[in-house]
Amino acid sequence: MSNNQSTKDALGEKSGFQIWWRMLRPHTLTASFIPVFVGTVIASINTSVHYGLFFAMLIASILIQAATNMFNEYYDFVKGLDTEDSVGIGGTIVRDGISPQTVRNLAFIFYGIAIILGFYICLETTFWIAVIGLVSMLFGYLYTGGPYPIAYSPFGELFAGFFMGTVIIGISFYIQTNAITLDSILLSIPIAILIGAILLANNIRDLEGDQINGRKTLAILVGRNNAIRVLAGFFIAAYALTVLFIIMGIMPIWGLLTFLSIKKAYNAVRVFKANHTPLEMMPAMKYTAQTNTMFGFLFGIAFLLNHLYAIQSVL
């Protein structure tokens, strides 16, 4: 059996439609869905939701995230960082034999569709959204493209959390309310932190390979054990900020529901501590993404429940 097939078997990868599905890296797409959901829910407390804008923003965000993933795969292949034995990537190029140009061109097509959706959003709101959107797309491309890729630096978690967390939540909130508030910015921070945690988990798993290839990620700079501590710190900060926001009165008591996701965060740290090979650490990546999904969903649900309770009290 070839090394390529052995790796695919170990990862449980299948052919057919799943090749294209894996290329999107679906486990990361919650990082684009959750911020749109949270920003819209927060906005819905004070205004009725424009569902056309919501779905346009949601689809555009998912397309930009998927395109960023494809640019990541394309440039990692071009720069020789990915091989058929690499663990954790989409594998569309190195294991499934899809042309690198196909992956790159599909990413540009996704960007094109996102621009069309963005144009609709601008027509309904303001064309300043286009400026922010184009900047976000540029940084998505520069994440692994360009002469100084952000993914190869210690700032990947910061940029990912800011653009995919705070910026997307801010836009989602603005297009519904035509305003940006301090509360909406503050409430975006826990989500931004957990999106950064997804990237940090990825970099912990890939630490040895990234180090050999000359990357300078945060995980490499602080070392494996400290990187796991930083990841745990990210999780703690997200839950602590939620409690702080409840105390401040900008989040309802229902926000405590987010603690139902804490087992996923604990499992992520536990698996990272107990395992050292990329394949063994894959479940930790999954737990980290699930933490973001569960936490973000419950974070948004907290506002909906509070709103429904207030309506019921009035009736």
Tell me the domain boundaries of the chain.
3-314
Name the band, by pLDDT with cuts 50, 70 and 90, for residue 10.
very low
Nearest residue to 78 (alpha-carbon basis) of 58, 44, 104, 110: 104
Phi, psi of 25 (to 5 degrees): 50, 65
Nearest residue to 90 (alpha-carbon basis) of 75, 79, 105: 75
> How far is it, in rounded angstroms, from Cα 91 to Cα 84?
7
Predicted model pTM = 0.86
Q: DSSP for 55-102?
A: HHHHHHHHHHHHHHHHHHHHHHHHTT---TT--SS--TTTTT---HHH
Runs of H (alpha helix) within the chain: 3-11, 17-23, 30-44, 51-78, 100-124, 128-142, 156-161, 168-177, 182-205, 207-212, 218-222, 224-248, 262-274, 278-314
- The pLDDT tens digits for 149-193 are 888 899 999 999 999 999 999 999 999 999 999 999 999 999 999
Q: Would you state the pLDDT for residue 269?
A: 98
Measured CA to CA in angstroms, residue 86 lies from 91, 101, 278 at distances of: 8, 20, 9
Quick check: 25 pLDDT over 50? yes
> How far is it, in rounded angstroms, from Cα 154 to Cα 23?
25
Q: Would you state the pLDDT for residue 86?
A: 56
Quick check: 260 pLDDT over 60? yes
Class of domain 3-314: mainly alpha
Quick check: 141 pLDDT over 50? yes
Average pLDDT over residues 56-83: 84
What's the chain's average pLDDT? 87
**6: number of Cβ within 10 Å:** 12
Residues 6+ apart with CB under 8 A from 270: none
Q: Would you state the pLDDT for residue 88?
A: 53
Phi-psi region of 142 (alpha: psi -120 to 50; beta: other; left: phi over 0): alpha
Name the band, by pLDDT with cuts 50, 70 and 90, for residue 279.
confident
Phi-psi region of 214 (alpha: psi -120 to 50; beta: other; left: phi over 0): left
Portion of the chain with pLDDT greater than 70, in percent: 89
More confident residue, 11 or 131: 131
Q: Would you state the pLDDT for residue 45?
A: 86
Average pLDDT over residues 66-70: 87
**185: number of Cβ within 10 Å:** 13
Q: Would you state the pLDDT for residue 100?
A: 87
Name the band, by pLDDT with cuts 50, 70 and 90, for residue 6.
very low
What does the radius of gyration of the chain's CA atoms come to, in whole angstroms? Answer: 20
- The pLDDT tens digits for 88-128 are 555 677 767 788 898 889 999 999 999 999 999 999 999 99
More confident residue, 210 or 184: 184
